[in-house]
Each structure stands twice: as structure tokens, then as C-alpha cells.
Structure 1
Amino acid sequence: MTAPGRRSSTFTRLLRHGFTDPSAAERLLEGTELAPVRSDPVLLDALGATADPDLALIGLVRLVEAQDGPPAQRELLDTLIAAKPLRDRLLGVLGASAALGDHLARHPHDWQALVTYEARDLHPGVQEFERGLADATDPVSLRVAYRRCLLSIAARDVCGTTDLAQTAAELADLATATLRAALAVARAAAPDDAALCRLAVIAMGKCGGHELNYVSDVDVIFVGEGTEGADEGKAVQAATRLASHMMRICSETTVEGSIWPVDANLRPEGRNGPLVRTLSSHLAYYQRWAKTWEFQALLKARPVAGDLDLGEEYVATLAPLVWQAAERENFVADVQKMRRRVVENIPAAEIERELKLGPGGLRDVEFAVQLLQLVHGRADTTLRSGTTLDALKALAAGGYVGRADAVQLDDAYRFLRSMEHRIQLFRLRRTHLVPRDEADLRRIGRSLGLRADPAVELNREWKRHTAMVRRLHEKLFYRPLLDAVAQLAPGESRLSPDAARERLVALGYADPAAAMRHLEALASGVSRKAAIQRTLLPVLLGWFADSADPDAGLLNFRKVSDALGKTPWYLRLLRDEGAAAENLARVLSAGRLAPDLLMRAPEAVALLGDGESGGLEPRGRVQLEQEILAAVRRADGGEQAVTVVRGVRRRELFRIAATDIVASYGTEETPAVADQGALVDLVGGAVSDLTAATLAGTLRAVVRDGWGDTLPTRFAVIGMGRFGGHELGYGSDADVLFVHEPREGVDEQEAARAANAVVSEMRRLLQIPSADPPLLIDADLRPEGKSGPLVRTLKSYEAYYRRWSLVWESQALLRAEVVAGDADLGSRFVELVDPLRYPAEGLGEEAVREIRRLKARMESERMPRGADPTLHTKLGRGGLSDVEWTVQLMQLRHGWAEPGLRTTRTRQALAAARAAELLSTEDAATLDEAWVLATRVRNAVMLVRGRAGDTFPSDGRELAAVGRYLGYDPGHVGDMLDDYRRTTRRARAVVDELFYGA
């Protein structure tokens, strides 16, 4: 045993070397694993130089333990002490990346990949990485070899042997070698397909730009051609099979994890388009249909795998189109609008930590550089680089960007990308959010050379660089000169004005030339399909015009028609069932959400008819659960099950949105729904039922994968907030509590482990990235909030609520309702909390004052800066919060005596309060009208913009679309805002009297 004096000395040295838990570090150093080297000062100095000495030491002990016996352990330790390059590399990686530490513990011989330190080892290229992957013949061995190569890249990175640009280039080269290896595996598995076709893999995005992250989707486009004498159709099919297999090899999760997703959604028509096209098909698409952003994306196109000659031909063929893109009408405005849209789509809770997409983030640098390239690169070929920093250097050399600005942008970009790399390297997870945890910030700061006060210094440097980027982005990206330069070149020839174009103008189409192109594409020719379209389009154009954005309606119709044009039932449905065509027109022109959902599942058009597909009536929870659980039973594994569940959710969200839109707009056959409250209840109940069924299916998938038929503990999900109240909107989170109860004979710790594993896996599966509207599980209403355990036993809830429960928790529990899992356990939970939410004899005055104080605090702290409190639907005057807190206060005070108040639903509770004469009929109607209107506005914003929001849009067209949804004629948005303010002002007067006692 170490003497106390010795221990004190070691403890002090460990603190001095940057250990945050010196006691634990001292124990590890005194263990048998490090006995041969524990007294060597070189080791402690090297550990102290790492980003996280504690993590590095733990990783080293694990690696030593994993060696094959004492000789191998001794070899590792001897080499570590004797060879400084290895010592710096190995400990540097272990101190920066827990994930690579795990890899080394699983593959204890891979440390030897870090031994060499020769000139050719400093900056390996594709060929060196190909040699490193040469023995990988299946997905598992490819992942192991990939991580081994990644280990060497990370070692050079954290030791400063490579800079940011070199590291990003090496990561792109490793991705290139990996794509080639995966394609080789796919070809070996299907030699007949390989012989039939030429397949080129074109890297896009950061891989194409030779500036890849540690963890990122690898964006690709596939080009296929037949070999000599091969049938083109069969060759493309063969190429598609090879491409699909290659993507699966890289993307699928194995026992060794996954490499990265291969994303082909930048291809023409995105995920709705064919995976592989011929070169001529690509060219035809880009010549005719491509949007501005697609040409911007092609800036980074680079052939990386497969038939490189074909890939080079693809790039050379499309290059002229890329450099003509700036001649498109509204080109600059489109690029600027796209960047603004990216920022607008960031969740408010994340925008301040978003390193990539947020204001002053990496995307601001990249968009500014790309816009300048596209405008000026038409004439100056030196600007045509896919690598951001190279292009920035060329822009500075050509005088398009000031030298000082370029240096500052370069410096900021390198710093922000380095931060991004260190964040991702820790767990090898795809993220761009700066962590909040002090230990994470400390590790990142130390890894970037910030040592005095790493977390504070990191935040200061990050904010400084972000502010710099934001300033320069505004300066360069919104230059008035850019638009003028872009317009110098002639654009495409336009159709001369004719009667059809005049008709489109009269109907309100903002871009009649584009509308004419859509009409020509849809209705030209002598086919039967064209004939039906010529019958439908005159009517559809009028229906599109009866919206705030007829151009979008026509464009969306063209997209759907392109996707379903060869499906025999599609046009017959529109021609023969009058409601279907008008319903489709309403849905396609009402905003973004419903068309976006439909584009990902075009076959859902069938729901708009009156046939056997169920029509527009939302399905109940029982039906949804039956379908989802049946699909889960057929799925192979949890992730596939959740993919299937998401497919059902996507279709049903479209059904609900379409129902909402059609009922709000009305049709020639069916007028708009007059009872807006009933429509709000329908949407809220339908989305809540769909969410409950989604959670039930996810829960079933998790339990089946982990435990078979029976979980060791009973498990229930309790809906809270709007979820429990059957009032979810299209973009609402699912507020929940998790409760479990060990089965008879099951150890409590085993039951707790199982319950926590279920919760973790459910959340993981539901958070897998997807283009669908997210479903976020929020358990922050649990006891002790974010600090408390995610799941508790029923007894634990009982003990907590008996001793510690606060008045806000009683208020929150007013919405508690069983939504998934063990119904009996859920019912007993509800019985447990009934005395809290309906307290005997009601609330005391102190509790009432506390609730009032909490609400006042919430209003002052949570109202977004700059928001108009008269137009904020949630926290604003007379909005949702005002009405709900007023109703909930009545429930807490009188629920014990009035059974009608014992409901989770706001409008039902309000009606019960009126029936019990707790407020007047007039006041109840005022509160109900305001609550329904605020809810309708929130639903409208989500339908129109495709993302949730609590305020009216600032964009004029979007605001008009919200007005149209709410029943206002074009040109009357001012009336809409006045009516909203008037309705909520009256409601606030009632709230002041009933809630605050004014």
C-alpha cells in the first residue's frame, strides 16, 4: 500500500497535470496493469498533454488489459515509454476519443498502426488507404479496417502533424477508398451485374469537396451506362443493384457499428428519382428541371469510385450548366433565400449551439464562398474549386474578396471546423451542436491548445469567430453588386405573351412563364395521359388560383404527376372522382407540410378519393395500433420496425393534414367546416392517437428485440401536456412519463436496468435521422426534471409525490393519461396521482399565489426576444398559456367536487367549468374562442411553412396562406391580425379576472 505522504505527492502531481479526478487516476496508476511504467515521469507528462488525461489513462488501462498476456502487455508499455511519436499519438487519441478507445479495447493489436512515423505516413492518400482496406472482404472487416485507418488520421490530427485542411482531405480520401472497397465487395457478390454495366460514383458535398468531417453522411450521385452491346435498361438495373448494395455495405449497422450513411438524395428528383441514371438522363434533367441549389451542389461533384472515365465525363458534361446557373432569373435571391431558410429551420433551443447551420456558423462561410464562385466563376476559371478554403484563397487572389476579409474567414472557418472535428471525434457521432457540459467544453478546449481556462477560452474564441463570420457573411453574401453581375449574362429565351399566359396572369400566377412550362410538360403529346391532363388542367388551374400560392400548387402537381404518371390509377382517380382532384389541388397549394409528406409517399394521393383507401377521415388509435403492431411483427429488427412505423406515420400525418386543409378551404361539393373548435379537436385527437400508436409500435419493437415476448418488468408510457390532453399539433413534442413495476420474482435492479434500456432504445430509434417531421420524446415533466431518472417504479413515484411534490407538478399531472404499454399499470399510476391533481378541498391560497407567480415568471422569461406579445399564440396575451392555466387553476381548485373537471382536455374542462357555474357562459365562450383560434394559427403555421412556430409568419405570401386557411379572402391579412388581437385581448381580460383575481 502506498504511504500517505507518497499518495499526497502523487495526488498533487496529477492535479498539476490536468487530471480532474486524481483519486481515481491514482488508483489506476497503482494497479497491476501499469506497474512496469507507473514510476516513469514520461508517462505522466504525456498523459497531462492530452485533451482529457483521465480519459486517456482509462483508455490505456483498458488497452493493456486487452492484450494477449503479459508479454504483449510488456511490449506495448515498453514501446510506449521508448517511442515518443507513438506515445503522443496513442495517448492523444485516447484522450480525445472515447469511441476510438473502445475500438482499441476491442482490437488490442491495432495500436501498432500508430508505430510508424515516416514521411510517407504523414499525409497518406487514397492509394495508401486502399492498401489499408485491402483485406476487407465483408461489411464487418471493412468497418474494422476503416476504424484502423481512422485511428491514424485522428492521431496525426490531435498531435498537430496535420492541419484542418489536411485532416479533412485525408478523411475524404479514406471515404473514397472505402467507397471503392464497398463497390468491390458488391461487384464480387454480383459478377453478372458488374459485367453488364459501367457504374461511376460521384462524390458530392464535403466528400466531393475534399473536406470531409469525422462523422458525416457521404453524399453521392450514381451514373450508369451499359457495357458494349448491353441493353441500356438492363444495364441501369444492374448498376442500381450494385449501387444499392454498395450503399448498404457502408450504411448498415453491424457488430462493429456502422461506417457512415451513403446519401444519394442530391440526385435528380431526390429520393423520388431513380438511384442510377445514364449520363444523357442526368443531362436532360439538369437542362430542364434542376433548381438553383442543385447547380450549387454540383460545385463539389468529383468522381471517386467505379468507372472513373465515366465519372470524369459526367463532371465535364455538367460543368457548363453549373457555370451558367447564375444567369437564371432570381438566382442570387434564390441562393440567399435558401440560406435564410436553413437558419429558420433550426430549432429555437439549438440555434445558439449550432456550429454548422446557425448564424455565423460554417454554412455562412460556405454559402458566401459558393455564391461568389457561381457569379464570378463563369468567366474566371481559377475560382472553380470544390474545396471551400481553396476557393476562398482564389477569390482573394482574384480580388473578389479583400485579403484581410479572406484571412479572417479562413481563420474562423478553420477554428469552427476544428471544433466540429473534436466534438464528433469524442463519440464518433454526427453532431454539430456545441455541448453544454463543462467537462466536454474543457476537453475540446484543451484539444485545441487552450489550457489556462479551457472551457471559458473556448466559448470566448467560438463567439469571436462566429461574430466575425456573421459580419463578413452579411457583407459578402448580400452584396447588391452580386445581383447586378449575375444579370449581365442573357437568360433563357422566353415565350412571347399569348392568350394562355394572359390567363395565367389574370388568375394570379406570379411566374406565368414557369407555369407555361409546367403545362407543356404535363399536357403535350398524343398519349392518353396527356389527353386526361388536358381535361383536368383548366379546372385545376382555377383551384390552384384560389390559394395564396398558385405557382406552388401547379409545381407540386407537376412533381406528383411525374412521380405517379406511369401509375394507371392516378389520373383515373383524378378524372373520375371529382373530390379527389379538387382535394389534391387544395392540398398542393396550401403550404409546405402536406406536399412535402406527399412527395415522400406519392401513393398517398389515393387517400384523397372516396374509394377503399379510407378517404380523409383520420383513423382511430385502435386501428393505427393494429396496423403498426402487425408491421412491427413482420419487421426484421428494431430499426427496420421503426422505419416501417415512420412510413405509417408519414401517411397518416398526410391524411390528417389533408383533412384539415380540405375542411378549412372547403370544396365545391363540401363547404368549409363552420365549427372551428370541432376541427381543432379532430386534428389534435388524430395527431395524439397517431403519436400514441407510434410509441406503442416502437415499444413493442424494443421489447421484442431485447427480451422476446415478455419484459422483466411491467412498463407504461404516460402522456403529459398536449399529448395527454389529445391536443398535439403537427410539430409538437410528445411529453411523457415512464413508469415500471418489476414482475413477480424479478430482482428490482434487473427490472430497473430493463426499464431504462427500453427508454434509451425507444429514444434512440425515434431520433434516427429522417426527412419526416420529427417525433421527439420529452420526459422533462418527470420528478426532479432533467436531473431525475427517466423511469421510476410506481412505488418510487408514490414516495416522491408523497414527500416532495410541488404545486407545478400537480398542475402538470392534470394532463396525465395512459398512452402506451401496460394498461393496468398505467391506470394504477393515474389513480395514484388523482389526489394530487384533484386535491381534497382544493388549493390553499399559498398554492394559488405560487401558480400565479410561476405563470408570471414563465411569461417574462420564455417570451422570445422581439416577439409581439399580442401575436404570440402560446405565451402572448390571451393565448394558449393564458387559457390553459386559467382552466387548470379551476381544475385544481374544484376538481375534487366537480367530476366534469376531471379531464385532461382543455375544452372539455372549460365546458364543465361553465356547467358548474365557475364562470359565465360569455366568459367561457371568450376563452374557448381564443384557445381555438390560437391553436388554429399554430396548425396553420406548420402547414404553411413546414415547421412549427408560435407567431404569424413575416413573409407576405406565407401570411396570406395562413389567412386563407383561417378563412380570410386574399388581401385581408390585416383583418386577420386585427381579429386575432381583438379575440385574444378579450380573452386576456377574462384571464385577468379569473386567474389573477384582478
Structure 2
Amino acid sequence: MQTTAGRLARLGFADGAQAERLLDELGPEAVGDLDLLASLVGSADPDLALTSLNRLAERDPSVLGAMRLDPGLRSRLLGVFGLSAALGEHVVRHPGHWRLLEGEQALQRTLERDMRVELLEAVGADPAEAEPAVREGGTDAMSALRVAYRGRLLHLAARDVTGAASLSQITAELSDLAAAALEAALAIARADTPEAADVRLAVIGMGKCGARELNYISDVDVIFVAEPREGVDETKALRAATRLAQGMMRACSTSTPEGALWEVDAALRPEGKAGPLVRTLASHLTYYRRWAKTWEFQALLKARPIAGDLELGEEYVAGVNELVWHAATRENFVEDVQAMRRKVEANVRAGEADRQIKLGAGGLRDIEFAVQLLQLVHGRSDGLLRRRATLPALAALSRGGYVGRDDAKALAEAYTFLRQVEHLLQLHRMRRTHVVPESVTDLRRIGRGLGMVVDPVGEFTTRWRRHAMEARRLHEKLFYRPLLQAVARLPGEETRLSTAAASARLSALGYADPDGALRHIAALTSGVSRRAAIQRTLLPVMLGWFADAPDPDAGLLGFRQVSDKLGTTPWYLRLLRDETAVAERMARLLGTSRYATGLLLSAPDAVAMLGSDGELTVRPKEALAAEADASVQRHAHDAETAIAHVRALRRRELFRTAVAGLVGRIDIEEVGQALSQLNDVTIQAALDAAIHKISLERRGEFPTRFAVIAMGRLGGYESSYGSDADVMFVHSPHEGVDEKVATDAAHAVANELRRLLARPAPDPPLQIDPDLRPEGRQGPLVRTLSSYAAYYRRWSSPWESQALLRARFSAGDASLGAEFTALVEPLRYPPDGIGESAVREIRRLKARMEAERLPRGADPKLHTKLGRGGLSDVEWLAQLIQLRHAYAVPELRTTRTLDALRFAVGAGLLAATDEEVLAEAWRFASQIRDAIMLVRGRAGDSIPADVRDRMLISRALGYPPDGSEDFVEDYQRTTRRARVVAERVFYGGS
């Protein structure tokens, strides 16, 4: 036979034995009261409800009889007790408050004016006075305020948990209750401020309180506005207003025997916490006109007078509204919006993102942010959008055609669900939280509180995740789906943005040419083809990614161009549709780098490379060399075709390296090495093709050994995207071959190699620059090894020794390359180092180069190569150390700048702190040179003066949208430090 405890456990009590004991303590009537049992079992947490009821009955046994006579009281009281341990505690402490849930009055909405009267009377103030003040202030008034407030909160929660009031009614009443509490708190503050009569003080509700959509426990955001009474000095009045405001805030947040209400947060005021707590109306408006950021206007969407001098509050709201609805036309609107998004995402604590219903992905803030941004964009021309609360604003956006009806309905459902969950989370302990708990008991209580009975944990979790995913998806759709409707006839769409509204939205989101963007959208999405249908699915999301990229217009244009080339390729759109990471990476790439976009347009099938990080791993030189050699062998009788294939290989690898660098897979040193090795492979393939061609033309074996010596940045494995390949050509005739015949053949090969790599083609050329050879452009293009030896023996100058520090074998005959490097070893690493006269000559050349080679009009503080603290400063310093000490320190015999600096530290020739400063400047300058090429598609050595170009380059380097000035300041600070080290070590070091 089943025990009573077992039966209770089966009905839903977690602890059947304890439930049986507690029911017994309620008396014999309670044990057999099936209605009571049904109400307990129907609550969110029967055990919690029974525990609170038992404690209340100990204090006031009459509650049991009243519940039997009033089923509504029983339902409301146990409904609250089953959800809120905190309100249960309150009723036990103040047992008379259960009577607030009796009879018809428990179902009635309490008007805001009645709440104000009730709370003012509770603290001992006269509600009939124009500016009520507590007759006897102090902690007792504060405690009385808390008791009255929570009694009214109990009444409201009972209507909430029993479904007698809707979500919007509950949030509005919570806001009105908070406003009434602030009025009572202000009455307490007036009692402690003798000069209160000198000033008019208005309390402006912000955030959810201002919008009348407050939750149960929240900081109440406010702004204070004051005006002196007639004849009162403004400074004196503001001092009194500040005391009043501080007193009001203390009256709410001070801990008393009845606890505290909540924090009053005035951080949304002008200048935030750094600004004065109270300002005059004129001071507020001056600030907003001159200094305010977009997020401040976004916050002001919800401004509403809630306490104090309401007439002054209305003047404030009227004044700021005029500014709010022009915020979208501000110069920095897009940057501010992007900064706001980042701030929201950054506020999620580590480990909570998946359980955050407010700040997490698909959370309340996603929805609120989307609605508010659309209001700012379109509310200037459509007054119907000027609503404070989220749900009414969303409905207005839907009615106006700015959001699809189905999308608005789904978003409203997600928002409502998440707000209900928020309330259930907070009601339990009356604590400010937005994190879904992990405990099964807590999840069960929330699920049952939402009316889920069969599997409350599973059903709640499923619905919550579904709503969050839908909210995140619609967050993107809200902005971008209607843009498709503006330009394409989409079946089943019930609303459509006008072209002007679509253009305004694109402009606000960062598109510089919104009309052009609409043309691209139309071209991609119009029609009934499968391709257009997939694009209509892709674009609402991709348009958002383009908007987040540095150059949205370039991103959308590039996407259209790539799609035009690949649109009929079956795998392309399927890949973008099914692999979100590919589509997102592509959007960011196209919106960041014209150089990478150009490479992609030459061979759009490289899109597939974006599918995984593994595809962005730089390929080994050996694998590239084998592939290039196979192309040359396959087209042995057609050098142009062979090198076209090799250049296509180079273009593909340039794209791979560019993407890997932009997404942070490789650093600047790795980029330099990858590009240098790729250039070596390309030169080797062109040399092989040239030798084969010249040999066929001469109808004989090639008469000489031939080697390409890398110089400059190529020699240092420091090539950039815009670098020419600095080289020297050396040959050595085979035994018995006439030197002139061999030299003519070598000249022919060198010229053919240069021609093959520079000829017009869809793929980027590789310019071969041989100007570092002996005698420069006046000297022969190719020399024999013995000719180099004779020249260096008789004519070598210090600058040539310095240039040879970078010399290394690149392509051709490896043994000849080794012979050449052995030949120049004594020149670049002279025994006993270079003398003082050579040091003076190098210093003189450096100073002359700075004076003469810096382009006219270039800012030396922003020129990455020749400017102060730039690449030349660092490289010449490293090279001078090598020329002086490499003979004695073998580790210094490297062609790489940063390696030379590192080894100099190890040898005690350079302080470690100096090496850090120099290396940081070198890396930064190299990153900027590469970024200039990647962003603009053409090489450059100076940070551009154009503000937009600076923004694009800084974004490519990882700075936020509003970080271009920080970028320039960082570079100048870094190079200033490097210049100090360079001048001290290069010009003064021994």
C-alpha cells in the first residue's frame, strides 16, 4: 500500500516525507484538503510553496481559513510562494500583507498615482503637497518605504504568476512602482536638505524604467535635471540639487533592517560618472549638441520624467527629442553603432555566454539593440516609430513596413519569452540576474512557472534555445531582409521598404554608396532562378558582415563580381549557404582587402580555400617547387604557357598568405618568409623555362652555370606584397666555352626571365630589380663569378658591403650560389670589422638618404621606410652591428634583420630593451606596408593623410572602427622610441 509520503512525491513534491510533516503541522483540515493540495502541486515549486505557507501559518493561522473561503487567494498566494522564496520571506515577516491578495482588489491594477500616494504616506509625507517632504526622516522612513514597496510588489507578482496581467502590464506597473519609490525617496531627501526649496529638480527615467518595461530587480537608470528658483544663484541651486539627488539615491540603496530597494544608477548622464551628477537643462542640451556620442542618443530614446518636477522633466524630454531623431545623420554614427555592439558583447562574463539571456547571443540586448537602431535610422522621417518601449516600437516598425510582419511576430514572441524567463529568475531570490541556472531544481521551477508540466526542464531548455537562435537570426534579418524587398519582387512578402528608406538604412549601416549597393543587391537577388533564391537567403546575413567590415561597399561589389563569375558553378553558393564560416570569412575579406579581392577575381575557385584553417596553412617551399617544376616540364616547349601556370600558382599562394595574415593565422615575420620563398620558387621556375627556351633557340646545351642571388628584402626573407625582387645574376662558363658566348647566353636568359615574370597577365607580375649589382644600372646585367671577384677586389665601397649582408642564393645552380656567397664573405663580414672611416661613410650615407630620398611632402613621422624610427633606422642599425662584429660573432651572419638584433643581444652588443623597441617598430612598420597594399591594392610607404584610408588600414590591422587616431598615435609612439635608440646606438655606439 502506498504511503502518504510516496503519494506526495508522486504528485510532484521533491521530498514527500517533509511535505507530509509540513501538511500535518498545518492541522487535520489541511491534510485532507484536496483543493489546497491541488494548488500546491500546481505551483512552480510545491516544496517551496508549502514551506512558506507553513511558516506564514505559524505567524497568522487565519490565513488557512481565508484560503478555504477564497480559492483566488489560495491560487495567488501559493503561486507566489512556489516561485519566490524572497516574497515568501517578506510575507512571513509581515503577515498582514497576505491580505493584499484577497478578494476582487487583488485582481485590480494599481494606478501610478495610487502607488505614489501609498508610498508617500508610508514614509510620512503628504501626497497633496507640491513637493512632499518626510516630516520625520531617517532609517524608519527608509524601512517603511521598503515594506510598502514590497507589499505592492507582492500584489503585482500575484497577478503576474496567475496570468491576471500581461507582460506589458506587469513591466509598466513595475516601472510605475519604481517611479513612486523614487518620489518617496525624494521626499526623504527633502527632509534632510534644508535648501531644497531653492531648486526645481526633475528625475528622468532612462532604460527600462523610462520605457515602462522594467523587470523585477534592476538598477534604475536616471538623469537629474535642475533649475534654480527665481532669485536663487545657479551655483547654490545646483549644490542643493546635488544634495537632493544624492539623498534620493541613498534612500533607495541604503541597507536597513528591511534590506535595500535597488541601486539608482546615474551613469547615463553627460560625461558619465566623471561628469556632474546634476546639470541645468541648458547645460544638458549644450553637451548633447556638442559632445554626445550616438549611444547616448540611443539611451535617450527611453527618457521619461518619473519623479520630482515633472514639468521640468517634460521640457528636458522635448529638448533632447529634437536631437535624438537626427542622430543617424551624425558623422560618426556607424562607428559609434559598431562600438556599441562590441561593448555589449564584451560585457558577457567568461563562462556565462551560453546561459546569458540578456547579453548573450540571441538575448534581450540583441533584440533591443536591433529595434533601437532601426528607430534611429527611420524615426527621423517617420514619427510613428518614436516609441520608448521595445514591443510597441517593434510593432510600429512592422506597421511601417520596416520589418516583415512574420519577423516582427517571431521577434516579439522571443522577446516576451525571454522577459518572462528574466522575471522568473529574479523573483526567486529577488536578485538581479540574467543567467539561466544549471541546477535541475532551478530549471524545473522555471519550466513549471512557464506552465510546462510534463517535462519542464527539457521543454524549457528547448524553447529557450529555439527562441535565442531565432532572435539572433532575426537580429540580422531585421536590418537586411527588407533591403532585398526594396529592390526585388519577393513572393509572399507582405511589406516592402521604399527605396529611400532602404538607402537610408544602408547609409546608416556604413555603406558610402547606398544606391550602388541597392543595385548590387537587385542584381544578385532578382529573378526566380535557384541562384537568386539562394542569394536571397545568404544576403540578409552577408550584408551584416559587409557592414561590419572596414569597406562595406567594396565587400558587396566584390561579392557580386565573384558571384557573377561563379554563379553557375554548383558548389559555390551551396558552400556559402552550408558553411557559415566560409561566407563570413569571405565577406570580411572582400570588405577589407582590394588586393585579396583582385586575386580572388582572377581565380574565384579559391573561395573554397576559406573553408578551413588547414587550407590557410602556408605550404612548404618544397611542395611549391615541385608543383612549379611540373608545370615547366609539362609545357617545356612553350615558356609563356609554363610561366602562366607558375604565376597562377603564385597568385593562389599570395591569396592564401594574404588571408592567413588578415585572419591572424601567421605573423608579419611568417608572411615575409612565405612571400620570399614563393618568390624564390617563381624565379626558379622562370629561370628553368628561360634556360630551356634559350637553349632551344641556340640549338645546344646551355653554355654556362647560372645563379640568381637574392638581395634586399628578398634576401632577408622579408618580402612584402608590394616588393620587387632585388637580385643579382652571376654565371660561370662551362669548361672550354668561350666567355663571350657564355655571357651572351646568360644575358639572354636574364632578360627572358624578367620578361616572363613581368609580361601582362591576369596574375600579379613579379618585377625583377637588378639595380643593386656592381655599378648599378650602368654596369652589366650579368657578370661571371671572376668578374664579381675582380670588381669587389678593386672597387668595392662600404655601401656594397652593407648591401651584401642580405645576399643569399635564390635560384639556379646551387653550387655556383655557394661559390658566390663564399666570395663575398670577407666583404660583408670583414676580418676585424670595418674601420672608423667606413663607419663614418655609412653614417653619412644614412643621413644623406634621409635628406634626399624621402619623397617631397612626405611626413617623416609617418613614412614607414625612410621616416624616423622606421624600417631604415632599424635595418641600418642591425647592419652596422653586423659589419663591425660578425667576423667575431658567427651568429650575426644572417640575412634577417630581427635575427641579427636578437643575436646582437646574445653577444652583449645591444641591450635587450633596445632590441625590443627596435623589433616592435620594425614589425609595426612592416605590418603597415603590407596593410597598405592589402587594403588599397597598390603599394605605399606612408600612412596616408586621407582619413578614410587611415580608417581602412587601421581596421585591417585589428583596430576598432573609431581607432584610426589610436593607430597613428601608436605608430608614432613606437617609432619615436625606436628613433631614440637608433640615434644613440647607430650614431653614438662603438
TM-score by length of 2: 0.48
Instruction: Please give the TM-score of this superposition, normalised by the length of structure 1.
Output: 0.48
